[in-house]
Structure 1
Amino acid sequence: MEKTIKTFKIISTLEAISFLVLLGIAMPLKYIWNLPEMVRIVGMAHGVLFLLYVAGAVYVSQLLNWSIKKLVIAVLCSVLPFGPFYVEKNYL
């Protein structure tokens, strides 16, 4: 169980960082300097990490007996730039 939670924390951190890179670096490169390549790369990585995060949140919620409310908050935090960090700090 400890290994599963550690893996989820890694995925959570990577998902949050990929979202911040997408919003803070890739999107300005695309829309300000007309360089869309980074959005394709970071966007794909973020998409995969997002799906892993949601699946991991569901799995970890079962392991830790989270309420439905905690699970919904954890999933909603995945669409906020610093949300996964909140979940790590408060729920794991």
Structure 2
Amino acid sequence: MSGALLRYRAIAYVVGVVLILLVVVGMPLKYIWDEPAVVETIGPAHGFLYMVYLVAVFDLARRTRWGLRRMLLVMLAGTIPFVSFYAERVVTRWAREPATVTV
């Protein structure tokens, strides 16, 4: 499970950085200064990386036996700037908690 967590943490950080670049740099350049080059470059890269992020979240959720709601919330965290960094910290704590067995 530590490999799945490491993969998730790495891709969450990368997706977060690329999304911030897209929103903070690319969007103003495109809509204020009519320069779409950054959005045309970073946009598809973010889309591909987000798909990798979804796979990493699914893999981690499967290994840690999270419910569907938790998995979907973590997946959505990659769509809001800066939230993926917070979610990465929370998910790391969740994944490192000892598993509780319900009888």
Query: Is TM-score (shorter-chain normalized) higher than 0.5?
Result: yes
If the length of structure 1 is used for normalisation, what is the TM-score?
A: 0.91
Corresponding position of 1:53: 53
Residue 90 (structure 1) shift: 0.9
Corresponding position of 2:35: 35
Distance 2:75 2:9 in 1: 14
Distance 2:64 2:17 in 1: 25
Residue 9 (structure 1) shift: 0.7
Hey, which bits of structure 1, 4+ residues long, moved more than 2 A? none
Do structure 1's residue 70 and structure 2's residue 70 form an aligned pair? yes
Q: State how many pairs are aligned.
A: 92
Per-residue deviation, residues 48-91 of structure 1 (Å, max 9, x unmatched):
11111111111110111112221011012121112211221112
- What's the C-alpha RMSD, in Å, of the aligned pairs? 1.1
Contact 2:4 2:59 in 1 (8 A): no
If the length of structure 2 is used for normalisation, what is the TM-score?
A: 0.82
Identity %: 27
Give the greater-gyration-radius structure (CA).
2
